[in-house]
Amino acid sequence: MAATGSSLAGVMTRINGRHAFVYERILLLVVRETELRDSVTFAKQDLAKRMGVCVRSVDRAVTKLRREGLVTTEPVFGQSGGSVGQRVPRDARGYRARADLPAR
């Protein structure tokens, strides 16, 4: 269920010569994908695998972005009622935060 139709291509792994933090990479993905659609939906396990990091790193990054008010998330439930992922709706706060990150 990871970011349907999305690709990590173009999401920087380095910013100003340093390694990009997981939260920066996720924010860039969210901003890019919400510019194309109303929201981005992902399962943390799938996103972690695609980014080459552990699930805990993705969880910490999403928590940090939520805590700082840069993204809002909504749980996505499967037919059985269990949580299967997160949905991040389009949000102007994410666009404002993008200005704080270096251009690609």
Cα 94 to Cα 34, 52, 54, 77, 81: the distances in Å are 9, 23, 24, 24, 29
* Cα 14 versus chain centre, distance: 16
- Give pLDDT tens digits for 11-68: 666 666 667 788 888 888 888 888 788 888 888 899 899 888 999 999 999 999 889 8
Angstrom distance (rounded) from CA 54 to CA 95: 26
List all residues 6 or more positions away from 82 whose beta carbon is below 8 Å from its beta carbon: none
pTM, full prediction: 0.72
Looking at the predicted structure, is the pLDDT value of residue 97 above 70?
no
C-alpha dihedral sign at 60, 104, 34, 95: positive
Percent of the chain with pLDDT over 70: 69
- 8 A C-beta contact, residue 25 and residue 66: no
Q: How far apart are CA 75 and CA 101, in angstroms?
A: 27
Name the average pLDDT for the chain.
77
Give residue-wise pLDDT tens across range 54-87. Answer: 999 999 999 998 898 888 888 888 888 877 788 8
